[in-house]
Amino acid sequence: GAVVSQHPSRVICKSGTSVKIECRSLDFQATTMFWYRQFPKKSLMLMATSNEGSKATYEQGVEKDKFLINHASLTLSTLTVTSAHPEDSSFYICSASKDRAYEQYFGPGTRLTVT
Amino acid sequence: RKEVEQDPGPFNVPEGATVAFNCTYSNSASQSFFWYRQDCRKEPKLLMSVYSSGNEDGRFTAQLNRASQYISLLIRDSKLSDSATYLCVVNRDDKIIFGKGTRLHILP
């Protein structure tokens, strides 16, 4: 159990457009979902934490108007990168947690390239 | 000083050997501890939660030392497939902090 899917796995978009990434917990209800980005050969950087039905909590330095997070249900969270720029190109990974023990189950990631 | 620190490695270890690495954390209020492994260009996968009493899962043993504020991961009889980056994760007050990871290469 504890499978998390992410869609799309790879996306290339033009500068100025918006991109939506979906994260789903397939076989469990996720009380909390997390969004990360990772640059090549670097560690994961937590962007925001979201609980179903409430506003996401963003980490310092992450623009909430640029990275819109919607956690519509206990199995779905979306991240929308608005007006994407080349510097937004990165590997975006979501994770989901069943409970407050904070064991996280990660999605396979979305590789975003902004041209 | 970073809140969670790991030796980045790489650790180059012959197949079959035992390897251990530590992760130190600076905040004594840290509550939960985990080891994840991440393969190149893949997402992290939970390897083990780390409990005060220590825990073992097959060839892997994790321990927590609250007095010295570190957690450790021991891998016995290492396999080629153990080659990965091992991430230490600490949870404190609803914050999740990742270490930068330790790269492990198992050599044939």
- Cβ neighbour number for residue A14 with a 10 Å cutoff: 8
- Cβ neighbour number for residue B13 with a 10 Å cutoff: 18
Overall average pLDDT of the B83-94 stretch: 88
Q: What percent of chain A has pLDDT over 70?
A: 97
Answer yes or no: is pLDDT of A39 > 90. no
To the nearest whole angstrom, how far is the Cα of B76 from the nearest Cα of chain A?
24
CB contact under 8 A, B96 and A46: yes
SS3 call for B19: strand
Cβ pairs bridging A and B (under 8 Å): 41
Measured between CB atoms, which of B32, B42, B98 is closest to A44? B98
CB contact under 8 A, A102 and B100: no
Answer yes or no: is pLDDT of A100 > 60. no
- Separation CA A23–CA A75 (nearest Å): 8
Q: What percent of chain B has pLDDT over 90?
A: 69
Answer yes or no: is pLDDT of A76 > 90. yes
DSSP-assigned letters across all residues of B32-100: EEEEEEE-TTS-EEEEEEE-TT-EEETTEEEEEETTTTEEEEEE-S--GGG-EEEEEEEEETTEEEE--
Residue A23 corresponds to which tokens in the numbers above?
């994260």
To the nearest whole angstrom, how far is the Cα of A21 from the nearest Cα of chain B?
15
Q: What is the pLDDT of residues A52-67, one digit of tens each?
A: 778 899 999 999 999 9
pLDDT confidence of residue B30: 86
- Cβ neighbour number for residue A63 with a 10 Å cutoff: 10
Answer yes or no: is pLDDT of A1 > 70. no
Q: What is the CA radius of gyration of chain B?
A: 13
pLDDT confidence of residue B91: 86
DSSP-assigned letters across all residues of A32-84: EEEEEEE-TTS--EEEEEEETTSPPEEPTT--TTTEEEEEEETTEEEEEE-S-
Q: What is the pLDDT of residues B10-35, one digit of tens each?
A: 999 999 999 999 999 998 888 889 99
CB B15 within 8 A of CB B58: no
- Separation CA B90–CA A19 (nearest Å): 31
In chain B, residues with a C-beta closer than 8 Å to the C-beta of A108 are 42-43
